[in-house]
Amino acid sequence: MDSKTYFRGYLRKHFAPLLHSLGFTGKGSNFRRVVGEAIHCVNLQGDKYSGSCAVNLGLHLTFLPIEHSGDLPDIETIEEVSCEFRDRLTPEGVFDYWWKYKCSKSQLIENAEHLIRTYKEQGEPRFAQFASTEQIAEMMTVDDIRLNSAPAGFSTTHTVKAALSMARIHFHIGNFEVALEFANAGMEKVESWSPRKAKLQAMIDETARRLAHG
């Protein structure tokens, strides 16, 4: 048995049951959990040289469209790559981290145990901070959009996309004035050719109508 197969088998025997005990479903490289309207995703990513593994975390909401399709997420199949907010699991104070498995058996097991321990200490507490729509709504401010700042706890691939998502989140929970501020902040940064411009304008128009009707 090669080191990659043994490492993945060890995680299948020890990490997957931990995730399942915490409410996740899935197997192999992708796991997901729905808590109210919040969706948490975990992905195991092997490097292209087959020598190490990273753990990706994803955060989404059941009512938030998937960027590339415009469809609502399928809570039975959604993966981290489709989530609006994503990040890499790392030990505290580390920016990026890969767990090596092309090594001795004893070191491989030690690395796998470290991965599991890191998820317990860093991954699960991070998800716990964003277990409701209201908590996710507070992860970014309008000033974060204006300053191109990353949200607390997770990152986003594009400031304008984040502005649109945050506007949709606040609209969903009835914070129409805040939703309008996010949409306007996104409009200030959107490129004229971007399809997000029409989506932001639609959000501005709908939010303005809601506010006008009190």
Read off the pLDDT of residues 24-40 as tens digits, 9 standing for 90 and up.
999 999 999 999 999 99
CB 119 within 8 A of CB 44: no
Residues 110 and 57 in one domain: yes
Q: Which of 109, 129, 149 is the last residue of a domain?
A: 129
Residues 85 and 145 in one domain: no
Residues 45 and 85 in one domain: yes
Q: 7 lies in which domain range? A: 3-129
Residues 8 and 84 in one domain: yes
Q: Which residue has the tokens 């890499």?
A: 88
Q: Kindly give the pairing relationship between strand 25-27 and strand 38-46.
A: unpaired
Taking residues 37-61, what's their average pLDDT?
Answer: 93
Residues 69 and 51 in one domain: yes
Residues 175 and 116 in one domain: no
Q: Which of 98, 129, 160 is the last residue of a domain?
A: 129
Distances from the Cα of 175 to the Cα of 95, 168, 171, 211, angstroms: 34, 10, 6, 10
Residues 108 and 195 in one domain: no
Is the per-residue pLDDT at 1 higher than 80? no
Q: Which residue has the tokens 């908590």?
A: 135
47-51, 71-75, 94-98, 183-187, range with the lowest pLDDT: 47-51
Model-level pTM? 0.93
What token pair was written down for 42?
A: 């975990």
Q: Which of 129, 148, 165 is the last residue of a domain?
A: 129
Taking each helix axis from N to C end, the angle separating 159-172 and 196-212, rounded to the nearest 10 degrees, works out to 30
Residues 29 and 45 in one domain: yes
Residues 120 and 141 in one domain: no
Residues 123 and 139 in one domain: no
